[in-house]
Amino acid sequence: MRLKRFIAVGAVLTCSTLLWGCGNGTANNASQQQNDTVRSESWSDPKRLEASHLEALERMEKDHIHRMVSLSASTDGDKVITTLERSSQKLEEMRPLAEMLQHEGHPALLQRIQDMSGDIQSSKSVIAEMKNLPQDGKIKIQSENSDSLHHISSFRDYHQYIQGQVQSLDGKSTQMSH
Protein backbone atom coordinates (compact mmCIF):
# COMPACT_ATOMS: atom_id res chain seq x y z
CA MET A 1 0.00 0.00 0.00
CA ARG A 2 2.73 2.39 0.99
CA LEU A 3 4.67 1.61 -2.16
CA LYS A 4 1.67 2.56 -4.31
CA ARG A 5 1.34 5.83 -2.41
CA PHE A 6 5.02 6.67 -3.02
CA ILE A 7 4.69 5.84 -6.71
CA ALA A 8 1.56 8.02 -6.94
CA VAL A 9 3.29 10.96 -5.17
CA GLY A 10 6.36 10.49 -7.37
CA ALA A 11 4.20 10.49 -10.52
CA VAL A 12 2.37 13.66 -9.41
CA LEU A 13 5.67 15.41 -8.65
CA THR A 14 7.16 14.35 -11.99
CA CYS A 15 4.10 15.51 -13.93
CA SER A 16 3.91 18.85 -12.13
CA THR A 17 7.66 19.41 -12.65
CA LEU A 18 7.31 18.65 -16.34
CA LEU A 19 4.26 20.90 -16.64
CA TRP A 20 6.03 23.69 -14.74
CA GLY A 21 9.03 23.28 -17.02
CA CYS A 22 6.84 23.49 -20.11
CA GLY A 23 4.89 26.40 -18.72
CA ASN A 24 8.10 28.14 -17.84
CA GLY A 25 9.41 27.58 -21.34
CA THR A 26 6.20 29.06 -22.74
CA ALA A 27 6.59 32.10 -20.49
CA ASN A 28 10.18 32.48 -21.66
CA ASN A 29 9.09 32.25 -25.28
CA ALA A 30 6.40 34.87 -24.66
CA SER A 31 8.88 37.24 -23.02
CA GLN A 32 11.35 36.58 -25.86
CA GLN A 33 8.66 37.48 -28.42
CA GLN A 34 7.84 40.58 -26.40
CA ASN A 35 11.53 41.58 -26.39
CA ASP A 36 11.71 41.03 -30.15
CA THR A 37 8.63 43.23 -30.60
CA VAL A 38 10.16 45.94 -28.39
CA ARG A 39 13.40 45.65 -30.35
CA SER A 40 11.70 45.95 -33.73
CA GLU A 41 9.62 48.90 -32.47
CA SER A 42 12.78 50.55 -31.15
CA TRP A 43 14.48 50.14 -34.50
CA SER A 44 11.70 52.17 -36.07
CA ASP A 45 12.99 55.05 -33.88
CA PRO A 46 16.81 54.71 -33.81
CA LYS A 47 17.20 58.22 -32.35
CA ARG A 48 15.23 57.16 -29.26
CA LEU A 49 17.16 53.88 -29.05
CA GLU A 50 20.45 55.81 -29.16
CA ALA A 51 19.28 58.29 -26.50
CA SER A 52 18.23 55.51 -24.11
CA HIS A 53 21.61 53.75 -24.49
CA LEU A 54 23.52 57.00 -24.00
CA GLU A 55 21.55 57.47 -20.78
CA ALA A 56 22.38 53.90 -19.69
CA LEU A 57 26.08 54.56 -20.40
CA GLU A 58 25.99 57.68 -18.25
CA ARG A 59 24.41 55.77 -15.34
CA MET A 60 27.01 53.01 -15.66
CA GLU A 61 29.86 55.54 -15.72
CA LYS A 62 28.58 57.36 -12.61
CA ASP A 63 28.15 54.06 -10.77
CA HIS A 64 31.64 52.82 -11.64
CA ILE A 65 33.25 56.20 -10.86
CA HIS A 66 31.51 56.18 -7.47
CA ARG A 67 33.08 52.77 -6.76
CA MET A 68 36.54 53.92 -7.85
CA VAL A 69 36.67 57.14 -5.84
CA SER A 70 35.84 55.19 -2.69
CA LEU A 71 39.09 53.25 -3.16
CA SER A 72 42.73 54.30 -2.93
CA ALA A 73 44.43 53.84 -6.29
CA SER A 74 47.75 53.17 -4.55
CA THR A 75 46.56 50.55 -2.05
CA ASP A 76 43.50 49.22 -3.93
CA GLY A 77 44.94 49.50 -7.43
CA ASP A 78 43.83 45.97 -8.36
CA LYS A 79 40.21 46.70 -7.37
CA VAL A 80 40.26 49.91 -9.41
CA ILE A 81 41.66 48.01 -12.42
CA THR A 82 38.90 45.38 -12.01
CA THR A 83 36.25 48.13 -12.00
CA LEU A 84 37.82 49.68 -15.10
CA GLU A 85 37.87 46.30 -16.85
CA ARG A 86 34.17 45.79 -16.04
CA SER A 87 33.48 49.20 -17.55
CA SER A 88 35.40 48.19 -20.71
CA GLN A 89 33.37 44.99 -20.89
CA LYS A 90 30.07 46.91 -20.62
CA LEU A 91 31.19 49.23 -23.42
CA GLU A 92 32.18 46.32 -25.65
CA GLU A 93 28.76 44.70 -25.09
CA MET A 94 27.14 47.88 -26.40
CA ARG A 95 29.51 48.36 -29.34
CA PRO A 96 27.68 46.14 -31.93
CA LEU A 97 24.46 48.08 -31.37
CA ALA A 98 26.37 51.39 -31.60
CA GLU A 99 27.91 50.29 -34.91
CA MET A 100 24.46 49.39 -36.29
CA LEU A 101 23.13 52.77 -35.18
CA GLN A 102 26.06 54.48 -36.90
CA HIS A 103 25.07 52.76 -40.17
CA GLU A 104 21.57 54.14 -39.61
CA GLY A 105 23.09 57.63 -39.41
CA HIS A 106 23.29 57.95 -35.60
CA PRO A 107 26.98 57.97 -34.63
CA ALA A 108 26.73 59.56 -31.13
CA LEU A 109 26.65 56.29 -29.15
CA LEU A 110 29.67 54.82 -30.94
CA GLN A 111 31.60 58.08 -30.51
CA ARG A 112 30.82 58.11 -26.78
CA ILE A 113 31.91 54.46 -26.42
CA GLN A 114 35.20 55.20 -28.21
CA ASP A 115 35.88 58.26 -26.02
CA MET A 116 35.11 56.36 -22.82
CA SER A 117 37.27 53.40 -23.93
CA GLY A 118 40.20 55.76 -24.48
CA ASP A 119 39.73 57.36 -21.05
CA ILE A 120 39.53 53.93 -19.36
CA GLN A 121 42.77 52.85 -21.07
CA SER A 122 44.43 56.09 -19.91
CA SER A 123 43.30 55.44 -16.31
CA LYS A 124 44.71 51.90 -16.47
CA SER A 125 48.07 53.24 -17.72
CA VAL A 126 48.24 55.85 -14.97
CA ILE A 127 47.49 53.28 -12.26
CA ALA A 128 50.18 50.96 -13.69
CA GLU A 129 52.57 53.94 -13.60
CA MET A 130 51.53 54.66 -10.00
CA LYS A 131 52.44 51.09 -8.99
CA ASN A 132 56.00 51.67 -10.23
CA LEU A 133 56.54 54.77 -8.09
CA PRO A 134 57.89 54.64 -4.51
CA GLN A 135 55.02 54.45 -2.03
CA ASP A 136 56.51 56.76 0.65
CA GLY A 137 53.85 59.42 0.29
CA LYS A 138 50.91 57.07 -0.21
CA ILE A 139 48.37 58.60 -2.56
CA LYS A 140 44.99 58.35 -0.96
CA ILE A 141 42.42 59.02 -3.62
CA GLN A 142 39.75 58.90 -0.94
CA SER A 143 41.13 60.95 1.95
CA GLU A 144 39.79 62.78 5.01
CA ASN A 145 39.09 65.69 2.68
CA SER A 146 37.04 64.14 -0.10
CA ASP A 147 35.83 67.50 -1.48
CA SER A 148 38.39 67.23 -4.27
CA LEU A 149 36.58 64.10 -5.47
CA HIS A 150 33.19 65.76 -5.95
CA HIS A 151 34.09 67.03 -9.41
CA ILE A 152 34.95 63.52 -10.63
CA SER A 153 31.96 62.41 -12.65
CA SER A 154 33.55 60.75 -15.69
CA PHE A 155 36.36 58.38 -16.61
CA ARG A 156 38.18 61.38 -18.11
CA ASP A 157 37.96 63.38 -14.85
CA TYR A 158 39.19 60.34 -12.95
CA HIS A 159 42.12 59.84 -15.32
CA GLN A 160 43.14 63.52 -15.06
CA TYR A 161 42.85 63.52 -11.26
CA ILE A 162 44.96 60.36 -10.88
CA GLN A 163 47.49 61.70 -13.40
CA GLY A 164 47.87 64.81 -11.21
CA GLN A 165 48.41 62.62 -8.14
CA VAL A 166 51.09 60.57 -9.94
CA GLN A 167 52.90 63.71 -11.11
CA SER A 168 52.91 65.18 -7.59
CA LEU A 169 54.27 61.90 -6.19
CA ASP A 170 56.81 61.69 -9.00
CA GLY A 171 57.90 65.26 -8.18
CA LYS A 172 58.31 64.38 -4.49
CA SER A 173 60.40 61.28 -5.25
CA THR A 174 62.64 63.29 -7.62
CA GLN A 175 63.17 65.93 -4.93
CA MET A 176 64.01 63.24 -2.36
CA SER A 177 66.67 61.70 -4.59
CA HIS A 178 68.59 65.01 -4.95
| Residue range 77-131, pLDDT digits in tens | 889 899 999 999 999 999 999 999 999 899 999 999 999 999 999 999 988 888 7
* Stated pTM of the model: 0.66
Report the alpha-carbon distance of residue 33 to residue 118 in Å, rounded: 37
Domain regions of the chain by residue span: 46-173
Residue 14 has pLDDT above 70, yes or no: no
> Which pLDDT value is given to residue 135?
60
CB atoms within 10 A of CB 76: 17
- Rounded CA gap, 51 and 41, in Å? 15
Question: Which 8-state DSSP code applies to residue 30?
Answer: H
Question: Which is more confidently placed, 29 or 104?
Answer: 104
The DSSP output letter for 148 is G
Residue 61: is its pLDDT beyond 70?
A: yes
What is d(CA 25, CA 20) in angstroms, rounded to the nearest whole number? 8
Closest by CA position to 152, among listed 67, 78, 74: 67
